[in-house]
Amino acid sequence: MIKTEHLQVLDFIVQYGSFKAAADALHISQPSVSVAIKSLEDSLGILLFDRSQYRPQLTEKGMAFYQKAKVSLENLKSLDLFAKELLEDEFLEVHIAVDAIMIYEPILEKIYDLILKKSNAYLYFNTEVLSGGYDRVINDEVDFAIGPWLADFPINSEIEKIKIQTIKMIPVVHKKVWRSQDLNDLIKIPQVIAKDSGSKKYSLSYGILDCSHKIIVNEPSLKERLILGGYGWGRVAEPVVSATKDLIRIPEDLANSFEIDIYLIRRRARPMNKDIKAIWDSLL
């Protein structure tokens, strides 16, 4: 008997190009992938992969079977989505990963009425830094993410991303702690950095000044509080800089500003019912 999970393993091997890559994407061991494919081949009575090559290649019969399997998997996804829509007609649960540089109020402004339309709604925000939102999407922990798409991320056809805005990050310091506007004085002031909340695989950091002291925080809002309190300097989103008179911009030749493109990011395979799609569309 053909098992759906075995078809999913087959699909991931073809998509990712190897048993190991499929195992990583599925968060299972490589031997488990091999066992699943062997069980599928035994139940079918055909060889799906030519294993004589460095990378496994589908046999002719394997390719024919895979084409049918893809259609079956898509139909199962559609059926699963339909079932969820039936169950969630009045109930709504949405999980969104939001990068720490985003301001929440404009996001809520766009989706608030959509949430209130439901008689029972739960909206979960996860604040992330840099690759954290992407990680949440890849691990299927959220419906979608609002955050940067960084050059370090691998190309993945399973991911949908749509650019929605650009945010400028400005290097600033409290006016009470840096009066000379000299580099020698700046390096005496700690740089405040929000730690990347993603996995070690995508551990990323940008704009760190090599010669300065560092204060590294896990809580993104603490970064702004420390800078506003005069305990260090760092880059914050331009709207935050504009909202206070106590922060002064550090000259570009000492610490450069940069722009970050912000995207809506989601896994294509994750079911998106009509209510979550309406929320997604409202943010475009």
Dump pLDDT digits (tens) for 11-62.
999 988 889 988 888 889 999 999 999 998 898 999 999 888 778 889 999 8
Query: What residues does 263 pair with on adjacent strands?
Result: 147, 163
Residue type, 67: Q
| Architecture category of domain 166-259 in CATH | 3-Layer(aba) Sandwich (3.40)
Tell me, what's the pLDDT at 126? 94
Domain boundaries, the chain: 4-86, 87-165+262-282, 166-259
In whole angstroms, what is the distance from residue 34 CA to residue 6 CA? 10
Q: Which fold has domain 4-86?
A: Arc Repressor Mutant, subunit A (1.10.10)
Question: E-strand spans in 81-224?
Answer: 91-99, 120-128, 144-148, 159-174, 191-194, 214-217
Give CATH superfamily name and number for 87-165+262-282: Periplasmic binding protein-like II (3.40.190.10)
Query: Of the ranges 102-111, 167-176, 206-215, 268-277, which one carries the lowest mean pLDDT score?
Result: 206-215
CA distance readout (Å), 107 to 28, 46, 176, 222, 235 = 35, 52, 33, 21, 22
Cβ neighbours, 10 Å, residue 220: 17
* Domain 166-259 in the same topology as domain 87-165+262-282: yes
Dump pLDDT digits (tens) for 154-175.
888 889 999 999 999 999 999 8
SS3 of 136, please? helix
- Give percent above pLDDT 90 in the chain: 47
Q: At what angle do helices 30-44 and 19-26 cross, to 10 degrees?
A: 110
pTM, rounded to two decimals: 0.68
